[in-house]
Each structure stands twice: as C-alpha cells, then as structure tokens.
C-alpha cells in the first residue's frame, strides 16, 4: 500500500538532486506526517532520506567526474556541497579514498543506484569446474569496512603491480566467514607464482583443490559494476545455492578480476559439496 507513496518521493528526489530537500517537503509529497514518513522510508529503502540523498548525490558526481573535463569542486557545488573540503570529507567517508585518488586510478566504486521496487534480475553465466589447488599472496582485511572499500584502496595504491613487480595480472578477492569471530575474513592479492615484487604485509593463502561453481557476472559499466557484483552474490546464496542440489564446501570463495582490463565483469568461485 505504501509503495506508490515512497516511489513518488524517490522520483521527486531523483528529479531534484541538485535542489534543497528536507524531510518536511518529502513527507508532504508522500502524504504522511513527517514522523510516519521517516519510519516508513527507512523501513522500505533501508536508509534515512538524508543518507539516501547523500549517497545518490555523490554517485552522480562520480559519474560526471568521468564524463566531464571540469574541476571536481565545480560539479560537487551543483549538488549542494558548498566547499571542496565538505565534498572531500563526504567522498572519503563514503569510499575511503580521496576524489583525486579516484580520478587518477579511475577505479570502479560502489555507487548507489536509484532505488527500485522491482529491479530486473541480471543472472550470471554459470558453470562447474574442478579446480587444482594453488596459492595466493594477499593483503588481509579484517576491519568492519566493506570489501568494495578495500578494493578502492588496493586499486588506487596500485598494490597489484607492487606485488607482481610491475606486471599486469589478475587479482583475487579471497574470503571465508570466520565463525569464531563472527566476521568475514577478506584478502586481496595475486597468484603466488606472479608475486615477484614487494610482498611485505601479505599472507599466503592455499586455495583448496576441488569442485567449484563458477559465476561470470553480467556485463556492466564502470558505475554499476560493484552493485551488480553484490546483487550476484545475493542471488547465489538466496536463489541458486538452495535449489542447486549442492551446499557450500569448505575452503575459500574467490572473486577474480583484472581492474585495468575495463571489462567490468568478474568471475566468482564458490566451493561445493553434494547435499546429503
């Protein structure tokens, strides 16, 4: 019943991202009291209106940075950031790198797409393979930030070339849920056979031999790549795995991608075992 009202607000926000927006105005557009609107918006979108607007503004600024030969601060000013410093703080809080580092590295950021109630499903290509064991030399990542933030740092600091000694090679995001500490242990690095550079601060991970499901994410653009990766992981665990006849095996899961390729499709490996 509330969907048309919240959709009306989302449509208005998307058409007025450069304008002054406040909760009283948005509540009036939805046709609710401000208190009820704020509760309902957060329940549906999983963000407050202010957080949604901030994420969408930063995302649109990022898109335009890649398309226009203008100062970043000029674009940010159009979207309500009244100083370069304010935008830099907001951008770094969101992505953990500076806007200038993003512009130099031109990496794929996790941009926040306009909220949709019925988003089309982009299912990946699926195959199975028996993978021979190998090892990865990788930087560990154990804090509470999301893996996309770690990838931002990894790419902007050119850590892949640091590990390889300058060679362009495939990167691996390697992960496993740590039951003891209730956290995702995440690592990014390269195949140990390619690690001929500076490997200080890394660990060596052994990838187990065995059966894996392989998912190639649908083609994407630089700006929706990370969102599609996250939707693919959700689809794997909520839809594919429960109906596959398999359960997740022991060992690491992996995301494989070569950022410099600009293909914006990654390969995901999930270890499997036959369900009993």
CATH label of the domain that carries residue 194:
3.20.80.10
Q: Do residue 204 and residue 260 come from a single domain?
A: yes
Domain harbouring 96, CATH code = 1.10.10.60
Average of per-residue pLDDT across 218-224:
81
The number of folded domains in the chain is: 2
Question: Does the residue 179 lie in any domain?
Answer: yes
Distance CA 273, CA 276 (A): 9
Helix (H, G, I), strand (E, B) or coil at 142: coil
* Higher-pLDDT residue of 72, 33: 33
**pLDDT at residue 74 greater than cutoff 80:** yes
**pLDDT at residue 276 greater than cutoff 80:** no
What per-residue confidence (pLDDT) applies to 259? 67
Cβ atoms 79, 43 nearer than 8 A: no
Reported as a single tens digit per residue, the pLDDT across 87-121 is: 999 998 888 888 888 877 777 777 888 888 876 66
Q: Do residue 193 and residue 242 come from a single domain?
A: yes
**pLDDT at residue 267 greater than cutoff 80:** yes
Reported as a single tens digit per residue, the pLDDT across 153-209 is: 898 889 999 999 999 899 999 999 888 888 889 999 999 999 999 999 999 999 999
Q: Do residue 29 and residue 91 come from a single domain?
A: yes
What per-residue confidence (pLDDT) applies to 101? 83
Give the up-direction half-sphere exposure of residue 160: CA atoms within 13 A in the CB hemisphere.
Answer: 23
What per-residue confidence (pLDDT) applies to 120? 66
Distance CA 8, CA 161 (A): 47
Q: Do residue 36 and residue 140 come from a single domain?
A: no
Q: Do residue 179 and residue 53 come from a single domain?
A: no
Given 76, 105, 134, the domain boundary residue is: 105
**pLDDT at residue 133 greater than cutoff 90:** yes
Average pLDDT for the chain: 88
Question: Does the residue 42 lie in any domain?
Answer: yes
Positive or negative torsion for Cα 80, 82, 84, 88: negative
Q: Do residue 167 and residue 54 come from a single domain?
A: no
What per-residue confidence (pLDDT) applies to 256? 92
Q: What is the DSSP string of 3-51?
A: HHHHHHHHHHHHHTTTS---HHHHHHHHTS-HHHHHHHHHHHHSS-HHH
What are the φ/ψ torsions at residue 270 (nearest 5 degrees)? -125, 120
Q: Do residue 144 and residue 270 come from a single domain?
A: yes
* Higher-pLDDT residue of 125, 143: 125
Average the pLDDT over each of 71-85, 163-177, 257-271 and give the range with the smallest value: 257-271
Q: Do residue 33 and residue 140 come from a single domain?
A: no
Reported as a single tens digit per residue, the pLDDT across 43-55 is: 989 899 999 999 9
Question: Does the residue 60 lie in any domain?
Answer: yes
Helix (H, G, I), strand (E, B) or coil at 78: helix
Q: What is the DSSP string of 152-172?
A: HHHHHTTHHHHHHTS----EE
**pLDDT at residue 224 greater than cutoff 60:** yes
Q: Do residue 49 and residue 132 come from a single domain?
A: no
Name the percent of the chain lying above pLDDT 90. 50
CA 232 from centroid of its chain's CA atoms: 11
What per-residue confidence (pLDDT) applies to 36? 92
Question: Does the residue 119 lie in any domain?
Answer: no
56: containing domain: 3-105
- The pair of structure tokens assigned to 49 is 């209106």
SS (H, E, C) 87-106: HHHHHHHHHCCCHHHHHHHC
What per-residue confidence (pLDDT) applies to 175? 93
Question: Does the residue 111 lie in any domain?
Answer: no
**pLDDT at residue 132 greater than cutoff 70:** yes
Distance CA 85, CA 95 (A): 15
What per-residue confidence (pLDDT) applies to 39? 93
Q: Do residue 93 and residue 153 come from a single domain?
A: no
Helix (H, G, I), strand (E, B) or coil at 267: strand
**pLDDT at residue 57 greater than cutoff 60:** yes
Helix (H) or strand (E) holding 138: strand 134-141
Average of per-residue pLDDT across 129-133:
92
Distance CA 78, CA 134 (A): 50
């Amino acid at each position: 019943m509330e969907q048309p009202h919240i959709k009306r607000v989302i449509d208005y926000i998307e058409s007025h991202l450069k304008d002054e927006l406040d909760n009283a105005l948005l509540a009036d557009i939805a046709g609710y009291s401000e208190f009820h609107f704020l509760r309902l918006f957060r329940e549906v979108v999983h963000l407050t209106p202010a957080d949604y607007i901030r994420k969408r503004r930063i995302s649109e600024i990022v898109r335009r940075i890649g398309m226009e030969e203008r100062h970043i601060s000029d674009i940010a000013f159009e979207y309500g950031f009244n100083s370069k410093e304010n935008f830099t703080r907001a951008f770094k809080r969101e992505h953990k790198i500076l806007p200038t580092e993003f512009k130099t590295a031109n990496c794929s950021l996790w941009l926040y797409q306009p909220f949709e109630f019925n988003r089309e499903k982009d299912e990946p290509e699926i195959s199975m393979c028996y993978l021979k064991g190998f090892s990865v030399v990788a930087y560990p990542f154990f804090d509470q930030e999301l893996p996309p933030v770690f990838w931002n740092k990894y790419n902007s600091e050119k850590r892949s070339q640091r590990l390889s000694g300058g060679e362009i090679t495939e990167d691996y995001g390697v992960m496993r849920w740590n039951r003891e500490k209730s956290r995702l242990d995440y690592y990014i690095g390269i195949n140990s056979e390619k690690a001929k550079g500076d490997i200080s601060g890394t660990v060596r991970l052994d990838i187990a031999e065995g059966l894996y499901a392989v998912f190639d994410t649908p083609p994407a653009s630089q700006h929706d790549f990370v969102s599609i990766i996250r939707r693919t992981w959700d689809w794997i665990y909520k839809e594919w795995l429960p109906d596959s006849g398999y359960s997740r095996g022991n060992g690491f899961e992996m995301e494989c991608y070569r950022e410099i390729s600009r293909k914006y499709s990654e390969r995901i490996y999930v270890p499997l075992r036959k369900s009993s």
